[in-house]
Amino acid sequence: MKTWVVTGGAGFIGSNFVQRHRMLKSARIINLDKLSYAGNIGNINNLFEDPDHIFIHGDINDRILVHDILTKYHPDAVIHFAAETHVDRSIIGPEAFITTNIAGTFSLLDEVRNYWNNLDPGLKDTFRFHHISTDEVYGSLGPDDAPFTEFSRYEPNSPYSASKASGDHLVRSYFTTYGLPVLITNCSNNYGPFQFPEKLIPLMILNALDGKVLPVYGDGKNIRDWLYVMDHVNAIYLVLEQGNVGETYNIGGSCQKTNIEVVQTICEILDQLFPNSHNKPHASLITFVKDRPGHDRRYAIDSSKIKHKLGWKPAETFETGMEKTILWYIENTKWIQSVKSGAYRDWIDINYEKR
């Protein structure tokens, strides 16, 4: 069995990846996570009796710890999810994004390079470092602009996207300079189970269920390309196993929606699921609030490369993925309560109270 080190494997996308591949028994997984605000041990509770899932509470900036993990477990790949990811948080407090997304990626890369240099030639050839990134590094599109490709210019507009762009450049430089066998994937907006409820879709689902206002930034016409998280997980695995070293693959859902369309879809599904709800129609809860600074108007991903080269395409439509997501949040109230800590409530107050 292969061994993978997965950083950030208790976060949203990382935990879905870990859950999927422990179910498939694809690899023994060494799961390194700092458990910051979005890392939730509840995302992987069911795996603690699994001898081939080893959780380590730690920081990718801890080079001694990373060195010890690599030396002890001899991974065949490192899959790097660990990141601060929320744009609004990066506006209020950018330092954590620089520390994790830039300095942390550098620390991890450098320890992996040292480990890789000491592997036997055959293992060096098959080893991979897979960096998970975002379409936000490309900046914002106009209404008639073509979707982002792997050759699009980097133009990040928030501290978050700038920090992820920096991480991408570092990873690419370690391939060009040192020959480290890297892969980079840039994905569009993900949604699905285990997503921290300050992000748009889970926030709207949970607020609607509680009869609270649904705060929509600006005019609600900012456009995002939406990707169901398990479709993303499947794409990551394909790139890890079949992607060409040193290359970037864009992963998108081919599903451009305005924010208001997303919220209205959630409301319509909830109206159908709860026809007798006192909150019906749930769309009556929608409230437009002051836009956030530097809010990119439109993202869209051209996934032609991964579709043509590796045969990947999304399995879910926006409607089927959204229904699965809403049902998951309805059925997992214990998980929701575990993440609705005082710190989470404080964050919602800080971000929305003056809008």
Question: Residue 135 catalytic?
Answer: yes
Own/partner contacts of 149-154, CB < 8 Å, gap of 24 or more, are: 149/250, 149/302, 149/304, 149/305, 150/186, 150/247, 150/248, 150/249, 150/250, 150/305
Q: Is 296 among the catalytic positions? A: no
- Judged by phi (left if over 0) then psi (alpha if -120 to 50, else beta), residue 220 lies in left
Of the candidates 207, 157, 163, 194, the residue with the CA atom closest to the CA atom of residue 328 = 194
| Given 88, 136, 225, 231, the catalytic residue | 136
List the alpha helices (DSSP H) in the chain: 12-23, 63-73, 87-92, 95-97, 105-117, 121-126, 159-178, 200-210, 229-242, 259-273, 304-310, 318-331, 333-339, 342-352
Among the options 33, 59, 84, 135, which is catalytic?
135
138, 160, 191, 217: the catalytic one is: 160
Active site residue 136: yes
Active site residues: 135-136, 160
